[in-house]
Structure 1
């Protein structure tokens, strides 16, 4: 069958259009572009009391949730136009890289390894790694006391458990689950001896099970929580950094902390300084 010049031009134009769509562009990976449409998809944790928790009625509460909503507001998006998406630790970079979320506010520590895949605004909070144990436990007082083959639980895709093994207790038995709530259940059932992650996360679980669980020892790392977004989305990163600064300056940061984390007894920390790298 003979193909006319007009047909060939049409086919070529379609091919170019398809290629452009498939490859995408800066706009396709920009959270600012999503905000201009009036809607945002934001990644949070669904199982962290005081930080990111999905409640039985389907609503969301916690400090990370309040930070996410404040930032969205500064980007021009109202709370009812935010879709919250669960973002387990091991999936956070993938969710951002695949464009499934516009940004992530999920106790997401800024590390050099992660910055190879995604960008960060912030930090909006600085925490420290600690340990959660049963209330009656007197053997575990810090990371050094985990030696002797004690069973330690943390989450796949996070670094706390391996840090304990590498730096403090080489013979500790590591168990990794998908979520910290699963680790906490293992601790409550006696399947593990301790759970490790950041102190602010553990304080929420201790408050959820008063008289049953407790946080022990002093924090032994510094964890700078950032808001993760697509690599190279400099425009949005600047806007989010501005939003974090504004939240701190106008008192909303402190109020959000006191309303969400404060009831756990976790003390109000120093306000973070945004790193505009």
Structure 2
């Protein structure tokens, strides 16, 4: 797979004739995969290359001037998942104000026809061009019938549309079973190990304090069964997301992500890590005493160990 990063306005780029899947693809969930795999089938049928065209940053950050959008997949993770789907080209367009000003006709001319695209695949609700006024139904008009297209319908699970929005909602309440089901894999976030308060070590449960990176969406506050990747090795762990209410006033604390790695004692300060979110065990609560907290942490570790022993 070749990854091509493009900033508008771009210089001429020579692409082979290609079928392209269009979308933002945040999460690369089952619905997104259906679009991409449909593009692959169309490319094989036509004996053409297959590509995916996506955009970064999220249009909301540019058009609504929102300071931050929390993504389901970092750009690196998105690229990794596209590679696993075995496409030929990943085209990443830098979404900026100039690009957002392109009308539908200009987008089709400069980013589809000029890129040697012959067939377009997108979801039923995909739109393009300024204010999203271009749709798949208008594509023949804007391409002067130079392009054909395939629309992929809703992909549903138990009557609910699989979407990035529904996955965010599930993460916001800690429903990891639904998240895993909609993604077709465990949810992952990136981070780096930073120095914390050392409080976990003092009570017999040392933790790695993780500073989240890449603007990834963090699940709801609570205690989770997770895996953490250190030096390309996945290790079983328990993770607490929240404000440590037993020790702090929530209103005076920043959100913390603390991971207790099972049967592990190495120094990993400064290391880049990934967290794989598997199952929520309980909500974060304020305990009456440190003793009560320690007793609960023992139960959490026992439950996590039992989970890993019986599921692998």
Q: TM-score, normalised by structure 1?
A: 0.27
Higher strand share: 2
Higher helix share: 1
Higher relative contact order (CA 8 A, sep 6+): 1
Q: TM-score, normalised by structure 2?
A: 0.24
